[in-house]
Amino acid sequence: MHKVGTPLVGTAIVFAVVCLVPLPFFDVSTEAPEKPPVAQTIVEEKPTVISEEKEIVVDDREVVSHVPLPEAVKSIYMSSCVAGTPSFRERLRTLINETEVNAVMIDIKDYSGTIAFSPESADWKPAWQAAECGARDMKEFIASLHADNIFVIGRITVFQDPFYAPKNPDQAVLRSDQETVWTDYKGLSFVDVASKEYWDHVIELAVESYNLGFDEINFDYVRYPSDGNMLDTYFPQSALSEHGLDKPANLEAFFTYLHSAMTDEENFAEVKHENTGRELSVPYTSADLFGMTTTNYDDLSIGQIQDRAAPHFDFIAPMVYPSHYPNSFLGLGNPNEYPYKVVYHAMKTGADRMTSSTTPLEGFLHEPIYTTNASGTETFTGLYSKPSYGPEKFRTWIQDFDYGGDYDAADVRAQIQASYDAGVGSWMIWAPSNIYTRAALLPAD
């Protein structure tokens, strides 16, 4: 124990008592003595700064993940019936995973006019309720394909629509009596290409499909009808349009309208799109054209012209199936016996035409080219300048079905090689049966 001396303790006690007792000599006078004036310094008051916290915006939208576009798309087709049949669709998934195929095209809306998944849109709900095929788990199925790094394309048949047309005869292709809905030889009806109300209807489905998870939207049957009694037709919407009965102009007007909608991010902002592989959150788009659009400069009586379609889509896919060419094509005789030659010529001609900066055809984006003689007089050359693209703008549709001939592995592979030799590295194989010739495909890398 520490010891403290007595004198020190006493001193401490006295000091404490003195501090607690109020003594008179500590009183303060209220009258201040006079002091000489002091110069005052005026200090400017600064405004009080109140810090405001920034509002934190939480993006709570549903996240939809995609697969970026492959450098070269190698796709097979899957019908809505197969998409809704787990055992069948899994066989195709296995084929994709074990071969060079890296993409699949799935029907969103097929030849029947019905659709393959349950939509949010009330306008499209009846087309799902009437469907005989489809996948109730389409969203989950697409996500599972993405998990395998498979690029997913959704196919929409546009103007061939026997579900919508009879219910909306004012927008349908009619017979010459201007009352009865026209049908082709298969009994299928069409919507008039110039129907702007229908354009919005199709765009609504395309937007919902991308927001569901599809990486690309493919537009098929973008044309006026054929394969029926064309002398007994009337196009009510075309007759009222600014282009009248000019089929190529009405079709390009649709392409222009569609392109504007499909490149507007606001249309797809309901969900958050991730892993798109591109700056904009919009789908890739492609259009299927008749095969002979690569070699013909007329519209084939259906409105389709390659030069007028190309600027409005990311990709153009000509259906250069050898069976769809006449025996007179290239003077070959039966084109089914020459799959390489047919596909090579068709795609090489189309690719050269795609890269060219001129065309003999009018178009919304085409400018007439004039020459000026010595006297200053301008003369139209008969050519127009046009947007030009590389062969990567193309995808080749490959035939893997026996219409017109017996297509084996050698025939299918010959078409793929013809596409490569024509400078087109992307292709899609069509087999309506969804049964593909595996021997024609290289194994997976």
pLDDT digits over 261-308, tens only? 999 999 999 999 999 999 999 999 999 999 999 999 999 999 999 999
pLDDT at 47: 56
User: What is the 8-class DSSP label of residue 41?
Assistant: P
Residue pair 138/130 in contact (Cβ under 8 Å)? The answer is no
- Strands 63-65 vs 272-274: parallel, antiparallel or unpaired: parallel
pLDDT of res. 53? 66
Token digits of residue 208: 């919902």
Instruction: Give yes or no for residue 444 having a pLDDT over 70.
Output: yes
- Computed over every residue of the chain, the mean pLDDT equals 91
Per the model's pLDDT, the better-predicted residue between 259 and 41 turns out to be 259
Using DSSP's 3-state secondary structure scheme, residue 333 falls into coil
User: What backbone phi and psi angles, to 5 degrees, belong to 84?
Assistant: -95, 5
* SS3 (DSSP) at 174: strand
pLDDT band at residue 80, thresholds of 50, 70 and 90?
very high
Task: For residue 255, give the H/E element and its range.
Answer: helix 247-262
How far CA 345 is from CA of 95, 111, 315, in Å, comes to: 30, 29, 19
What does pTM read for this prediction?
A: 0.87
Task: Report the CATH superfamily, name and number, of domain 63-440.
Answer: Glycosidases (3.20.20.80)
Burial label for 344, CB within 10 Å (0-12, 13-18, 19+), is buried
CB neighbours of 129 closer than 8 A, spacing ≥ 6?
Answer: none
pLDDT of 121 reads: 97
Confidence of residue 431 (pLDDT cuts 50, 70, 90): very high
Cβ-Cβ contacts under 8 Å for 440 (sequence gap 6 or more): 400, 409, 410, 412, 413, 416
pLDDT at 44: 52
Q: Give SS3 for 322.
A: helix
- pLDDT tens digits for range 155-197: 999 999 999 999 999 999 999 999 999 999 999 999 999 999 9
Distance between CA atoms of 439 and 441, rounded to whole angstroms? 5
CA angle 102, 79, 114 (to 5 degrees): 135
- pLDDT exceeds 80 at position 25: no
Looking at per-residue pLDDT, the higher value among 285 and 21 belongs to: 285
Encoded tokens for 320: 């250069």
Could you give the 3-state DSSP secondary structure of residue 105? strand
Name the token pair of 241. Answer: 């349009």
| Environment class of 373 (CB within 10 Å of its CB; exposed 0-12, middle 13-18, buried 19+) | exposed
In the chain, what are the domain boundaries?
63-440
pLDDT in tens, 323-351: 999 999 999 999 999 999 999 999 999 99
Pairing assessment for the beta strands 284-290 and 315-319 based on DSSP bridges: parallel
Q: SS3 of 176, please?
A: coil
How distant, in Å, are the alpha carbons of 94, 95, 249, 433 from that of 438?
Answer: 11, 8, 42, 14
